[in-house]
């Protein structure tokens, strides 16, 4: 028995849980519909307000009808009372004698009242309706329970008896055995002991009338509410549908369909809205086309200039190489000039290459050559390529690849360019401190983080670091000699992969760049496997015997991250970007 009760209890709890869960889900669905649908909100609000109005009006009407019925009943009852009192006084004139004789006289008088036309035909045809008469010979000094009476005296409440026995006319509504009566009591004048007359008018007809009115008001109110809800829904739909069409047209327009327009029907306010929207869309379309043409001209100019500069640059490069090869035969000043010439030509060639790359990205002609490979060798090659720069700067590059392969669909050339650029940037701004390269992955994404402990970023610079040709401090001495386009190229490369590049930094605590890429091309990425920054900003890795120097100039690393003091800004993959 106990086990059965326990099972029943568990079943009841589970059923209650399911019912509660269903109720929560329905409430959540209604809440979502309330937030999304203006038509639903207007309809429900109108229905709620209309329900309150209908309820108040129904209560007022019901009270008015009930009061009017009772007033009519009371007036008719008083008129009937005067007639019955006259009949009773005429029947009870004279000495009543002993109790038995008095009881007989009261019974005879009651029969006279009920058998007369007053209690039958006239009573039925009058507004008061049928009634039950009661005669009693009560005395205030004697208990009313022992009073001599004729008729249903027990239906008369004690309070009413006391009033009438003290020679006071009174009325009262009282319910006896489920029947509600309108009772009228009045003392009857006789030559002997006092007599009381009570008339009990059933309110059955009035109750039926009130019930009919209540049902009518209830049904009429429900029908009215349904009609109001339907009307509100139709009227609101007439307003909401054009707005929805306008919203759909705006979304399509924002998606690139610049020819999308709204149909103009009529001359009302919604038609004016559609006309204004079409004019605005046409104006924006013209401006966008002008900007596109201007952008195409800019990109074509950049591309053409870059290509045209290659021929004279090749000639100058050949001459510079000849001079550089013979520099030992020149005087010291001329030999140094030859070395500077070669260095600047290298920088010029890098700038031309970056200009061509950025023009291709802007034109949208670049394609992603993604393949499913292990990304660890990519990071190792990037570290190897900047090792000479790191040795010159005195900054060690710390990289510990995961023991297991980290496979992802990436364009190895672009990812290597991003990492090479970020490492060169970190070395250039690390103030001789170590630079850490981290690699991590989860089910959906693979991430690289380049962390330095140098000068860091000033507030607001993280939002500017990926702008083209932007420098945090143009007077800062640089070792790598950037073109100012590397991070901008990286921005486009990362977006081409479907990932993002974020940056964090604080003055004196260094900075950190985090590259997050999807493991499969086209797969959405919601979070990165590496935090930003990946370690507390105040705890750099082992720094050898080198002391931390005060920052001489903050860096322009990329936009801050959600878990750092700067806001993370998605960017793409740079190539050789030393500008901060």
Q: What is the pLDDT of residues 40-87, one digit of tens each?
A: 888 888 888 888 888 898 899 888 988 888 888 888 888 888 888 877
Q: How far apart are CA 372 and CA 369, in angstroms?
A: 10
Banded pLDDT at 141 (limits 50, 70, 90): low
> Which of residues 449 and 455 earns the better pLDDT score?
449
pLDDT, position 353 = 73
Cα–Cα distance, 200 to 156 (Å, whole number) = 8
pLDDT (average), residues 316-334? 84
Residue 39, pLDDT > 80, answer no
pLDDT score for 311: 78
- Residue 117: pLDDT above 50? no
Quick one: pLDDT at residue 116? Answer: 63
Least-confidence region, from 109-123, 199-213, 257-271, 375-389:
109-123
> For 539-565, how does the pLDDT look when each residue is reduced to its tens digit (9 = 90+)?
555 544 333 333 333 333 333 333 333
Each domain of the chain, given as residue ranges in start order, spans: 37-248, 269-343, 371-580
Distance, in Å, from the CA atom of 413 to the CA atom of 422, rounded to the nearest integer, reads: 14
Mean pLDDT of 161-181: 85
Tokens of 31: 């809440």
Q: Is the pLDDT of residue 231 over 50?
A: yes
Across 3-17, 22-36, 92-106, least confident range? 92-106
Q: Confidence band (pLDDT; 50, 70, 90) for 510?
A: confident
Q: Over 70: is that where the pLDDT of 418 sits? A: yes
Report the pLDDT averaged over residues 176-193.
Answer: 81
Residue 331: strand, helix, or coil: coil
Are 393 and 427 a contacting pair, CB within 8 Å?
A: yes
> How many angstroms separate the CA atoms of 323 and 317, rounded?
10
Three-state SS sequence of 154-183: HHCCHHHHHHHHCCCCEEEEEEECCEEEEE
Distance separating alpha carbons of residues 454 and 551, to the nearest angstrom: 7
E-state strands within 277-387: 371-374
Q: How far apart are CA 146 and CA 381, in angstroms?
A: 120
Give Cα 151 to chain centroid, integer Å: 72
pLDDT at 572: 34
Q: Which DSSP string do the residues of 218-287 spell out, in sequence order?
A: HHHHHHHHHHHHHHHHHHHHHHHHHHHHHHHHHHHHHTT-TT------SSSHHHHHHHHHHHHHHHHHHH
Q: What is the pLDDT of residue 563?
A: 37
Structure tokens at 541: 């890795």
* CB environment 486-520: b (16+ within 10 A), e (fewer): bbbbbbbbbbbbbbbbbbbbbbbbbbbbbbbbbbe
pLDDT at 546: 39
CA distance 338 to 152: 136
Q: Are 166 and 176 in contact (CB under 8 A)?
A: no
The angle, 0 to 180 degrees and rounded to 10, between the axes of the packed helices 99-115 and 38-91 is: 120
The band of 247, judged by pLDDT with boundaries at 50, 70 and 90, is confident
521, 548 Cβ separation under 8 angstroms? no
Quick count: other Cβ atoms within 10 Å of Cβ 338? Answer: 20
Pinpoint the alpha helices (H) of 465-546. 486-497
Per-residue pLDDT tens for 455-500?
888 776 767 777 666 665 554 545 555 556 777 777 778 888 889 8
How far, in Å, CA of 171 to CA of 168, rounded? 10
Predicted local confidence at residue 440, as pLDDT: 92
Residue 377 confidence (pLDDT): 93
Cα-only R_g, the chain = 50
What's the mean pLDDT in 508-521?
88
- Identify whether the C-beta of residue 113 lies closer than 8 Å to the C-beta of residue 133: yes
343-384: pLDDT as tens digits: 788 777 777 777 777 666 666 666 788 899 999 999 999 999
**pLDDT at residue 331 is higher than 50:** yes
- How far apart CA 143 and CA 130 sit, in angstroms, is 30
Compute the average pLDDT of residues 213-237.
87
Q: Is the pLDDT of residue 197 over 70?
A: yes
Give dist(CA 499, CA 573) in Å, integer: 9
90 pLDDT exceeds 80?
Answer: no
How many angstroms separate the CA atoms of 39 and 36, rounded? 9
Tell me what the pLDDT averaged over the chain comes to.
77
Other Cβ atoms within 10 Å of 193 Cβ, number: 12
Pick the CATH number of 371-580 from 3.30.565.10, 3.40.50.300, 1.10.3720.10, 2.60.120.260: 3.30.565.10
pTM listed for this prediction: 0.45
pLDDT in tens, 422-436: 898 888 888 888 999
Beta-strand (E) ranges in 107-213? 132-137, 148-150, 170-176, 179-188, 195-202
Q: Which of 371, 378, 388, 366 is nearest to 418 (CA)?
A: 378
Given this model, what pLDDT does residue 1 score? 60
State the number of CA atoms in the 13 A half-sphere of 236 facing the CB: 17
Order the strands of the 170-176 sheet from edge to edge. Answer: 148-150, 132-137, 195-202, 179-188, 170-176
Lowest-confidence region among 28-42, 120-134, 489-503, 533-547: 533-547
- Looking at 429-505, list the stretches that DSSP marks H as alpha helix, in order from N- to C-terminal side: 486-497
CB neighbours of 370 closer than 8 A, spacing ≥ 6? 409, 410, 411, 497, 521
């Amino acid at each position: 028995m106990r086990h059965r009760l326990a099972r029943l209890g568990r079943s009841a709890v589970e059923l209650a849980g399911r019912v509660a869960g269903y109720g929560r889900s329905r409430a959540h669905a209604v809440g979502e519909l309330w937030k999304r649908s203006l038509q639903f909100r207007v309809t429900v609000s109108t229905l709620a307000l209309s329900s309150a109005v209908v309820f108040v009006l129904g209560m007022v009407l019901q009270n008015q009808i009930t009061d009017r019925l009772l007033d009519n009943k009371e007036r008719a009852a008083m008129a009937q009372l005067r007639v019955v009192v006259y009949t009773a006084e005429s029947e009870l004139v004279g000495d009543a004698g002993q109790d038995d004789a008095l009881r007989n006289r009261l019974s005879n008088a009651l029969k006279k009242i009920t058998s007369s036309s007053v209690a039958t035909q006239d009573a039925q045809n009058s507004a008061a309706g049928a009634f039950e008469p009661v005669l009693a010979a009560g005395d205030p000094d004697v208990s009313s329970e022992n009073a001599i009476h004729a008729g249903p005296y027990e239906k008369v409440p004690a309070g009413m008896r006391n009033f009438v026995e003290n020679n006071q006319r009174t009325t009262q509504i009282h319910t006896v055995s489920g029947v509600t009566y309108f009772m009228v009591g009045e003392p009857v004048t006789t030559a002997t002991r006092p007599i009381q007359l009570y008339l009990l008018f059933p309110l059955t007809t009035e109750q039926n009338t009130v019930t009919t009115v209540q049902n009518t008001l209830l049904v009429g109110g429900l029908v009215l509410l349904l009609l109001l809800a339907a009307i509100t829904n139709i009227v609101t739909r007439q307003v909401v549908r054009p707005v929805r069409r306008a919203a759909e047209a705006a979304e399509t327009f924002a998606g690139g369909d610049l020819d999308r327009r709204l149909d103009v029907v009529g001359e009302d306010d919604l038609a004016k809205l559609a006309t204004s929207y079409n004019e605005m869309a046409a104006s924006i379309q013209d401006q966008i086309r002008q900007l596109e043409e201007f952008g195409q001209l800019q990109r074509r100019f950049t591309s053409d200039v870059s290509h045209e500069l290659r021929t004279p640059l090749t000639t100058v490069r050949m001459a510079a190489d000849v001079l550089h090869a013979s520099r030992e035969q020149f005087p010291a000043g001329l030999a140094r000039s030859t070395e500077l010439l070669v260095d600047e030509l290298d920088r010029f060639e890098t700038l031309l290459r970056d200009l061509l790359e950025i023009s291709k990205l802007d034109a949208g002609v670049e394609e992603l050559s993604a393949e499913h490979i292990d990304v660890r060798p990519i990071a190792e090659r990037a570290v190897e390529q900047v090792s000479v720069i790191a040795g010159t700067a005195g900054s060690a590059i710390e990289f510990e690849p995961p023991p297991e392969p980290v496979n992802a669909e990436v364009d190895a050339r672009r990812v290597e360019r991003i990492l090479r650029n970020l490492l060169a940037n970190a070395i250039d701004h690390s103030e001789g401190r170590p630079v850490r390269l981290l690699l991590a992955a989860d089910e959906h994404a693979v991430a690289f983080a380049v962390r330095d402990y140098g000068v860091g970023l000033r507030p607001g610079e993280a939002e500017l670091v990926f702008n083209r040709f932007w420098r945090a401090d143009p007077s800062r001495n640089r070792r790598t000699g950037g073109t100012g386009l590397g991070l901008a190229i990286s921005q486009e490369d990362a977006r081409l992969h479907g990932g993002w590049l974020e940056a964090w930094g604080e003055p004196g605590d260094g900075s950190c760049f985090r590259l997050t890429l999807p493991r499969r091309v086209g797969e959405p990425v919601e979070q990165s496997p590496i935090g930003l920054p990946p370690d507390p900003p105040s705890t750099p890795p082992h720094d050898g015997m080198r002391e931390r120097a005060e920052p001489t100039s903050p860096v322009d690393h990329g936009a801050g991250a959600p878990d750092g003091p700067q806001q993370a800004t998605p960017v793409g993959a740079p190539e050789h970007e030393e500008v901060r």
